[in-house]
Structures are given as C-alpha cells and as structure tokens.
Amino acid sequence: MRAVQLHKHGSADELFIGEVAIPERKSGQVLVQVRATALNRADLLQRQGKYPPPEGESNILGLEMAGEVIESDSESRWQPGAKVMALLAGGGQAEYAAVPESLLMAIPDNLSFTEAAAIPEVFLTAYQTMFFEGKSKPGHSVLIHAGGSGVGTAAIQLAKAEGMQAYVTCSKPKHKTCLELGATLAIDYKVEAFDEIILEKTDYKGVNIILDFIGAPNIKPNVRSLGNGGRLVMIALMGGFNAIDINLIPIMHKHLTIVGTTLRSRSLEYKGRLVAAFAEKFLHQFSTGSIKPVIDSVFKLEDIALAHRHMEANKNTGKIVIEIKE
C-alpha cells in the first residue's frame, strides 16, 4: 500500500510516498481502507524527530482517518462495508489502517469521507480537555487559545452546544470564523493583552477553564485570567516549555488546578471511554448540522509536503485534510 514515509527526520522536504506492507489485523481490530486522513501538529513534530509514536504503534504519520471497513471479527459490530472514522496513535496517512474497534465511530450519513476525517483528533481532544480534564459544565466560561486551529474550532462548537461562553485568542483574520462558530469574543493575541480583556469582560471574576496550546509565555496571564477554582488544561507547548519567575501565590489563593495532557499516549481503555462518551453526547449533532467539521483546505496524498508547509506557516483556520485515492 502507499503511505507517507520519511527519508530522515527533518523538514517537509524529507517526506515522500512509498510502498509498505498492509498492516496485519489482530483480533479486536478492524482493517479499514482509508479514504481520507488529516494533518495535526503532532505530525510535524514526529517528522522533526521530536514526537515518536508510542511503543508498539505504527511509525507512519497520521492520528485519524475516515474510510470503509474491509475486514473484521465475525462478531464485531463493524462489518465490511461500514463507513467509519477513527482516532489513531499512528498510521493514518496510508491506504489501509488496522484500528482497535473501540476507537471507531460511524460516519453520519450526511458527511463525506473528507468531512469525517476532520473530526476525530480535534473533536476528541476538545472534548477530552474541556470535559474529561477540564470538568466543564453548562454555564461555565472557557478561554480557548489558538481558537482558529482544528481543536480550537471544535472546542468553540462544543462549548456553544453545552451553553458555555467561549472566549478565544487568535490572529485577526481568523476572528470571523470563530465568531460565526459561536465564540462570545475573539481577542487578537498579537496586539491585545488577553488577560486584561478577559478580566474586564467577566467583571474581574475570570473564566472557569482555559485550554492552552502555547505553554510558557501564557502561564502568567493564564493564571491571572482564571477565576476561583479554575482549571488550566495544557494541551501543547508551541511557545516554549520553560516557565520562569512564576508567582505561585495566586494559584494557591484562587484554588487553581493545572492539568497537562496528551491524548496520543493515553491507554486504549481511556481512549475507548472517551470515544464512547463523545459519540453518545455529540455525534448526532453532526447529522443535524448544529456541529460541523471545519475544513481549511484539502490536499492530495502526493502533496503531503505542501500540506505540512501550509500548517507550519500557520495559514489554516480549521483542519487540513488529506484525500487518499486508489
């Protein structure tokens, strides 16, 4: 089968499409013919040699996919012909993937493979960080950094669906999309101090939860932006990981919780529970259109290097999808 491969770790120039063996399906897994996959920041880091796959997982890039079941156990609920999408620990950017049954979700009838491929990683990450780890509830307020990203656009919609107020930070060109998706306010992080604005807009009460991708540069203003009992969920460290000169007193006085999480390295049992909970609560809303995948652009598998460069330039609002044709 064709799959994304690397000459060596490095720039997008090291990517190529090569022939590799079709993965062997184990009991409890489903073999899926992949019709579309998507790009995530983790793929860029793995390409650079900074984020290897968990032990025992495929070293092929790709953390999600949508396609058609080819082979499964006889007693499986996922029989050949079923249209599915899935969260993966690796291996999505290939023509076939072997997927644990518990990580599969049925593609709503109104969605194409291309649209479905834009759902698993970002919506499950948004759901995990906001509800599993963030303990959000209806009526809460959330500050979502990188609001125009795949996870950001997913989190805005989930927050809106749950009756939460969503404040976002993103560059000015991405404000319109975020507001249309349901954000209460979009803050241009390049020219505005988000903590000052959050405190002003919340009558100095602060928000209940923050989803942060930036890391060290945001620690101080994040702590300032949180209200009493608030939770900061750290998803990525795009801005750096060494935070210095941090005053711990506000963290104690406001009874704050700081949580660090990555989804890829979680256990299969945890991911299975996450997928099941998300599907039960939100999957039907894709059928009605009240929640939707946000797609920035679509690339062919052969143009995978262009897709990487597009993400590295921070040009995307929403997901970058990769179509895989026979």
The beta-carbon contacts of 188-193 under 8 Å, at least 24 apart in sequence, are 189/145, 193/221
pLDDT tens profile 3-47: 999 999 999 999 999 999 999 999 999 999 999 999 999 999 999
Contacts of 153 (CB under 8 A, 6+ apart): 122, 147, 177, 178, 181, 294, 317, 318
Question: How many whole angstroms separate alpha carbon 236 and alpha carbon 280?
Answer: 27
Predicted pLDDT at 243 = 86
* pLDDT of residue 114 exceeding 70: yes
Helix (H, G, I), strand (E, B) or coil at 297: strand
pLDDT tens profile 131-156: 999 999 999 999 999 999 999 999 99
Q: Which residue has the higher pLDDT, 303 or 315?
A: 303
Spell out the domains of the chain, with CATH numbers in brackets: 2-119+293-323 (3.90.180.10), 122-260 (3.40.50.720)
Confidence (pTM): 0.95
Helix (H, G, I), strand (E, B) or coil at 29: strand
Cβ-contact 82, 68 below 8 angstroms: yes
